[in-house]
Amino acid sequence: MSVEANLDLGDVDEHELPAGSPHLVADLRDKLMATGRSWGVRVFAVLIGLGLWYWAARVHLDFYIRFDNVPSPVIVGEAFWRHLHETKFYIHILVSMRRILFGYILAAVVGIFLGLIMGRSRFARDFLTPYIELLRPIPAVAWIPLAILMWPTEESSIIYITFLGALFPIVLNTIHGVEQTPEVLVRAAQSLGARRVQIFWHVVIPAALPSIAAGLAIGMGVSWFSLLAGEIISGQYGIGYFTWNAYSLIIYPDIVVGMLMIGLLGTFCTYGVRLLTYPLLAWQRRAR
């Protein structure tokens, strides 16, 4: 074997490449079909649920759970349609969205910050863990009296409650992500001359990102969940207030409208969070 041949071995054979590119069109078609099928199943599932609900309300189902006072989907649909033509309904939605936005963004910033320092510093971890563990199981509703006493305005106490809801999942997931940073990557960065801050920025945070993104998505769901509790305080606006008001006025269809609206908005916002974190995790999807 000649020396030239040895040097050539340094180059890469094509077969070392991951397969894929020539079948791009076929791949895309398969992907679209899979997505279409998946959505078909989802719509079908919702239709089945609606059908069962309609049937149960229609026959006044009374088999352990009772449907005789539950409004049928048709009545709820009509109520929903009516509200869609009222400006006030949109104000309820916008006011709630604003509260979520403030509470959630605050929770994201504080939660990621606390999670990062708790994940990297033993002292911060020991110092903050009792607070996190003690406060975490307290449901949002239980906070209402204190929130009213502590915060200067109604608005700030509601935002505080949505903030708390989102905070814990974000903190815990961030800590988990930081802990999962492979030691060998930290060592590699050290031997390449990176300082502590650089290791934090280039290694620890990216390693924790998938977990942080999961925490952010969960946190969004929980903050909507807490909003309903928080808006008990509210005097006039918010989708949670709308639901409580319907409850006290015994307007059953509106209760369901409010509930569905919270579900829809929560899903929509969680999807938004996933969409925002999606580009940050591109490297993960490209791994084979």
Partner 1 sequence: MVAQVVKLEKPAHSTLPSPAPRVPPQKGHVLINRVAVIFGRGAGAHAAVEETSLDIAPGEFVCLLGPSGCGKSTLLNCVAGYVAPTRGSVTVDDVPVTKPGPDRGMVFQQYSLFPWKTVLDNVAFGPRVAGRHDGEAIARTFLDMVGLSRFAKRYPGELSGGMQQRVGIARALANYPSVLLMDEPFGALDAQTRVMMQENLLRIWSEFGITVLFVTHDIDEALFLADRVLVMSASPGRVIADLAVPLARPRSPEIATEDAFIRLKRQCLERIRVESMRAFDQMNQ
Q: Considering beta carbons, is residue 85 or 286 the nearer one to partner 1?
A: 286
Q: Considering beta carbons, is residue 16 or 64 the nearer one to partner 1?
A: 16
Q: Considering beta carbons, is residue 206 or 221 the nearer one to partner 1?
A: 206
What is the C-alpha to C-alpha distance for residues 196 and 236, in angstroms, rounded to an integer? Answer: 51
CA atoms within 13 A on the CB side of 53: 15
Q: Considering beta carbons, is residue 44 or 283 the nearer one to partner 1?
A: 283
Is residue 231 classed exposed, middle or buried when 0-12, 13-18 and 19+ CB atoms within 10 A define those classes?
A: buried
State the minimum distance, in angstroms, from the CB of residue 115 to partner 1.
18
Q: Considering beta carbons, is residue 209 or 259 the nearer one to partner 1?
A: 209
State the minimum distance, in angstroms, from the CB of residue 54 to partner 1.
48
Q: Considering beta carbons, is residue 47 or 192 the nearer one to partner 1?
A: 192
State the minimum distance, in angstroms, from the CB of residue 20 to partner 1.
10
State the minimum distance, in angstroms, from the CB of residue 24 to partner 1.
16
Residue pointed to by tokens 């369901």: 256
State the minimum distance, in angstroms, from the CB of residue 139 to partner 1.
37
Q: Considering beta carbons, is residue 16 or 149 the nearer one to partner 1?
A: 16
Residues in contact with partner 1 by CB under 8 A are: 1-3, 6-7, 9-12, 16, 18, 182, 184-185, 187-195, 198, 202-203, 206-207, 209, 283-284, 286-288
What is the C-alpha to C-alpha distance for residues 71 and 252, in angstroms, rounded to an integer? Answer: 7
State the minimum distance, in angstroms, from the CB of residue 14 to partner 1.
10
State the minimum distance, in angstroms, from the CB of residue 188 to partner 1.
4
